[in-house]
Structure 1
Amino acid sequence: MRRLEVDTDYLLRVLFMMLNTPSPTGMTDTIVHYVCGELESMGIDYELTRRGAIRANLPGVRYSPDRAIIGHVDTLGAIVKGLKDNGRLELAMIGHWSARFAEGARCTIYGDDHKTFRGTIMPLKASGHAFNEEIDTQPTSWQNVEVRVDEFCHTKADLQHVGINIGDHVSIDAQPEITDTGFINSRHLDDKAGVAAMLAAAKAVQDNGVELPVDCHLLFTISEEVGVGASSILHGDVAEMVSVDNGTIAPGQNTSEYGVTVAMQDMTGPFDWHLTRRLIGLCREFGIEHERDVFRYYRSDAASALEAGNDIRAALVCFAVDGSHGWERTHMKSLEAMARLLSLYMQTDPAFKRDRRAIGPKADFPRQQMQYEDGAE
């Protein structure tokens, strides 16, 4: 096992391409094609589910028990809930995010027959000249915002005439920007930054001709933001899975802003004791900045995989995000650290040889009170 250099120029290029490719849950075909193109350029085989989740494979010396690294390409967004008599649009959210962060956003409405329309999400009372202090006292909710469409629409009939319908998807502009100090500000870093780190890690492995001990699947899901995630993309040979997603920078949290955060538990319960500590061990051994954290209001692809009945060891590793599901910010150092950790994890043996079997005897079952190194094999 060796530390691999991460192509940060590639990571950034892929990240910005994805950020500028709208993909709210339910409208992910375009970004699926993009990710498939990146896999093809690296010579990595893949296959798709019916709806477009991607299962790629980096072959190892042994094909089983194999491992998976998983991220999601779908993002938050909105859908047209109603056509209003004033020629504006009522919205319902896709995924879970506050209307506080929708106010002022530029957006695109996707109609039938490839029609698109531009607009801005506005509070119902948007002008201080008209409403005075009421602009500050109106509630924050999805019932208190509307889309001002950049068309000649002043009635419900006008909206219908141009081709806007209830159920049309609405994507929110990402507006990505990177500073000279390495900070990346954008909507939808969750989880496109994680996917970019996954692809950069795979590129490092491919470019260096590294021989992996077991097959490693790169999984890219398309409905994590609505709770479905990895429920239908795994197969029985996967013994351990590492989910890649955002870590929360906030008071009371212990997320590393410039490194990797290993989540010990989220709202669905603790992650695998052995696999999380193996990842922490890799960070320590190879000098990767890291922290541990526990998230109270958080779920990831790992949760949907376990809830679907998969008996796998699952872990969650996070890149830093300040203002998650709102005005998001990360740092290039955190993404580079994530890619480096993933490239190392791909080179490790499975946590336990016994995991090649779905069920087995007690004799080789590990003990948590033992030192991790004593039970690693």
Structure 2
Amino acid sequence: MNINSEYLLKKLTDILAIDSPSGDCIEVINYLNKNFKDLGLTTKISPKGALTVIIKGRDVENPVAVTAHVDTLGAMVKEIKPNGRLKLTQIGGYPWPTIDGEYCTISSLDGKKYRGTILFDKTSCHIYGDIPRTMIRNEENIEVRIDELVFSKKDTTKLGIEVGDYVYFDKRTEIRKNGFIKSRHLDDKACVAILLEVARNIVENNNIPSKTTYFIISNYEEVGHGGAGLINNKIKEVIAVDMATPGIGQQSKEQEVTICAKESTGPYDLELKKKLIKIGKEKNLNYNIDVFKYYNSDARVALVAGGQFKHALIGPGVDASHAYERTHIQGLENTVKLLIAYLNS
């Protein structure tokens, strides 16, 4: 199977460079829309801002769907403090300590961008002694120090910064020669890049899927309703492509593709899981089967919204999820291969 890893990594790097916390995904959706159209595929953007790509297959009566989400974690200005610094409210779920010390960008409604640093409000050991070492980080004591001459709330508002403005975390993307990929927001931009590579492979090799396929890229997954309302009643099977979770007690690995048997709300479809495992064996892929403890996917959300389809979840292992994440090119490649083989089955 011809996998263009250079194309895959280039698209991943491009996607990671575009800030897209949940609710602020217009730019990245437009980027993806252009890329899929450049491949000659039909696309449409929903009123909700999600992207659907249509790939015609040999069987048009029993379509399938593949989902991934391009929205990421982020933050929003909750309050402008009397000293001009910013309190934050989270977009998505992550531990506050994972952003302590991170560089960031504040995006005002009028399009201005300001740089800053996310900090514990008692960071200096020379002033606060042991407090920086022992205090739990939370929404009350994490703040943004803006890289401007601001010393009061009035100074900050003069810049055009207001409550409700988005705050983007620096991604710090690094692709190593040994195959490791480090960055924030590999969840789930790594899998969006995988869909681009699958689409390229289908188009350039005239590899027509067995069934008409919808690629659905959602923009609200991290806040719980990304997959709701995006999957029509004609679709018979849905594969969610999202990160797997390596760690203690887990089988997932960064260099492999994981087939999820169950996540926090219940099991995935047994017959579809068996089908994917059979493909993994027949194609001699590096795969594993895992159960995720604290997890939900767009396929599950679409079911709760009333969807009537078989559902499955696959994806590459992503270490340190919802923090500074890491995966491996082999995990991405194995996911591409499993997905292409499934679409041809």
TM-score of the superposition, structure 2-length normalised? 0.99
Query: Per-residue displacement from partner, 1:53-73 (whole Å, max 9, x unpaired)?
Result: 011111012212100010000
The answer for the alignment partner of 1:37 in structure 2 is 34
The answer for the alignment partner of 1:372 in structure 2 is none
Matched, 1:339 2:328: no
Give the Å deviation of 1:185.
Answer: 0.5
The answer for the alignment partner of 1:181 in structure 2 is 178
Secondary structure of the residue aligned to 1:234 is: coil
What is the percent sequence identity of the aligned residues? 37
Detail structure 1 runs of 4+ shifted over 3 Å in the superposition: none
The answer for the alignment partner of 2:317 in structure 1 is 320
Task: Map 1:20-99; keep pairs closer than 5 Å.
Answer: 20-99=17-96
Give the Å deviation of 1:134.
Answer: 1.1
Equivalent-residue separation in structure 2 for 1:310 and 1:47 (angstroms): 20
CA contact (8 A) 1:5 1:340 kept: no
CA contact (8 A) 1:319 1:335 kept: yes
Give the Å deviation of 1:257.
Answer: 2.5
Secondary structure of the residue aligned to 1:246 is: coil
Query: Per-residue displacement from partner, 1:330-367 (whole Å, max 9, x unpaired)?
Result: 0000001111111111111xxxxxxxxxxxxxxxxxxx
Unaligned runs of 5+ in 2: none
CA contact (8 A) 1:125 1:131 kept: yes
The answer for the alignment partner of 1:210 in structure 2 is 207
Task: Map 1:105-124; keep pairs closer than 5 Å.
Answer: 105-124=102-121
Q: Quick one: which amino acid aligns to residue 183 of structure 1?
A: F
The answer for the alignment partner of 2:267 in structure 1 is 270
The answer for the alignment partner of 2:219 in structure 1 is 222
CA root-mean-square deviation:
0.8
The answer for the alignment partner of 1:166 in structure 2 is 163
The answer for the alignment partner of 1:357 in structure 2 is none
CA contact (8 A) 2:110 2:160 kept: no
Equivalent-residue separation in structure 1 for 2:324 and 2:139 (angstroms): 17
Task: Map 1:124-273; keep pairs closer than 5 Å.
Answer: 124-273=121-270
Query: Per-residue displacement from partner, 1:208-256 (whole Å, max 9, x unpaired)?
Result: 1012221011110000000001111111110100001111111011113
Equivalent-residue separation in structure 2 for 1:111 and 1:326 (angstroms): 25
Equivalent-residue separation in structure 2 for 1:242 and 1:270 (angstroms): 14
The answer for the alignment partner of 1:364 in structure 2 is none
Matched, 1:311 2:287: no
CA contact (8 A) 1:260 1:289 kept: yes
TM-score of the superposition, structure 1-length normalised? 0.90
Equivalent-residue separation in structure 2 for 1:185 and 1:216 (angstroms): 31
CA contact (8 A) 1:190 1:245 kept: yes
CA contact (8 A) 1:202 1:343 kept: no
Secondary structure of the residue aligned to 1:142 is: coil
Equivalent-residue separation in structure 2 for 1:107 and 1:211 (angstroms): 43
Q: Quick one: which amino acid aligns to residue 94 of structure 2?
A: W
Unaligned runs of 5+ in 1: 349-377
Equivalent-residue separation in structure 1 for 2:100 and 2:321 (angstroms): 16
